[in-house]
């Protein structure tokens, strides 16, 4: 049984002539055809699973064999996540997903990339209240942590202890964003044993610091905000990071190790703050990176 879908924006649901023709043509060749408004989607990217779970309008989306993208206006985020997820279910997405623009460093795309490499934390993304509620009831484990999809440096992160609190948080989130393309984004709580900030230059680890808990804190604070940290060397972590981050530019990588000894890349920051790391390591990290760039010029001559 073959199923096709046409991914539309709300205005396209009215059906343009082209969309009507495509729908009629698909109906004659496929067993079923679904019109999908990406605003109604939700996703479970579970670490260790090779395929994501996709929800649509509060229910599990059936397997889709072929997908056509008819319009992306005002729904770039939801469509971008949807087509990436569909590809991992074996669906043939007819359109070029690289043409569906969303910044590559968006937390949404980087979360998917880490899930693909099995180096990130399980992530739940929902673009509508109804779908988020269904996911809260069926698949999001407690406790969990709400994270703004466009946040930085632990800003506005909210720990959630139970399903009631999760649904309340979802309700508050969508009260102001029901008509937007902004997603609700959360991850399960992980028991962090060790946490590191790592400075990477063109794919090579330049410096590493282990974050040290402040007294009376359950988890380490952000290095840049003033928490204590200790310069360290760890070849295993360096190899892991160099194998799983972009090999171009200067990156600040936050990595943690959980109580099962699993490595999680929490975040990669393209504008990292390295002053504290530089001072504690008693090295001139800036000069080291500049000299490495000058060496590239010499090597090219």
- Note the pTM of the prediction, 2 decimals: 0.88
Question: Burial code of 152-185, b = ≥16 C-beta within 10 A, e = fewer?
Answer: eeeeeeeebeeeebbbebbeebbeeeeeebbbbb
Residues 72 and 92 in one domain: yes
pLDDT for the residue numbered 234: 96
pLDDT for the residue numbered 215: 61
To the nearest 10°, the Cα dihedral for 252, 49, 151, 172?
A: -170
Residues 13 and 104 in one domain: yes
Residue 199 φ then ψ, to 5°: -95, 125
Average pLDDT score over residue span 166-195: 94
Q: Is the pLDDT of residue 103 over 70?
A: no
Q: What is the CA radius of gyration of the chain?
A: 22
Contact between 124 and 140 under an 8 Å Cβ cutoff? The reply is yes
Average pLDDT in the chain: 88
pLDDT for the residue numbered 283: 85
User: How many Å apart are CA 297 and CA 299, to the nearest integer?
Assistant: 5
Q: Is the pLDDT of residue 187 over 50?
A: yes
Of 131, 164, 188, which residue sits at a domain end?
188
Q: Is the pLDDT of residue 82 over 80?
A: yes
Residues 28 and 139 in one domain: yes
What pLDDT band is residue 72 in, cutting at 50, 70 and 90?
Answer: confident
Residue 235: give the domain boundaries. Answer: 192-300
Q: Is the pLDDT of residue 249 over 80?
A: yes
Residues 132 and 230 in one domain: no
CATH number at residue 58: 3.40.50.20
Q: Is the pLDDT of residue 225 over 70?
A: no
Residue 8 token pair: 């539309």
Q: Is the pLDDT of residue 217 over 60?
A: no
């Amino acid at each position: 049984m073959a199923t096709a879908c046409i991914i539309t924006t709300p205005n396209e649901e009215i059906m343009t002539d082209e969309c009507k023709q495509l729908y009629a043509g698909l109906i004659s060749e496929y067993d079923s055809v679904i019109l999908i408004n990406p605003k109604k989607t939700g996703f479970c990217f579970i670490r260790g699973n090779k395929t994501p779970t996709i929800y649509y309008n509060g229910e599990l989306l059936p397997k889709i064999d072929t997908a056509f993208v008819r319009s992306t206006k005002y729904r770039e985020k939801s469509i971008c996540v949807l087509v990436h997820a569909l590809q991992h279910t074996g669906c043939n997405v007819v359109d070029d997903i690289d043409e569906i623009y969303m910044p590559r460093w968006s937390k949404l795309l980087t979360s998917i990339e880490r899930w693909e490499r099995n180096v990130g934390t399980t992530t739940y993304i929902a673009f509508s209240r109804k779908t988020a509620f269904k996911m809260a009831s069926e698949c999001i484990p407690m406790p969990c942590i709400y994270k703004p999809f466009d946040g930085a440096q632990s800003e506005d992160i909210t720990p959630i202890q139970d399903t009631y609190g999760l649904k309340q948080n979802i309700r508050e989130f969508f009260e102001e964003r029901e008509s937007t393309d902004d997603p609700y984004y959360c991850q399960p709580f992980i028991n962090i044993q060790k946490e590191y900030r790592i400075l990477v230059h063109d794919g090579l680890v330049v410096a590493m610091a282990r974050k040290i808990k402040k007294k009376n804190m359950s988890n380490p604070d952000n290095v840049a905000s003033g928490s204590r940290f200790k310069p360290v060397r760890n070849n295993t972590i360096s190899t892991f990071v160099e194998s799983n981050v972009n090999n171009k530019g200067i990156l600040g990588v936050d990595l943690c190790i959980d109580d099962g000894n699993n490595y999680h890349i929490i975040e990669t920051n393209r504008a990292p703050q390295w002053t504290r790391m530089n001072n504690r390591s008693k090295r001139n990290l800036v000069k080291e990176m500049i000299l490495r760039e000058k060496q590239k010029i010499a090597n090219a001559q």
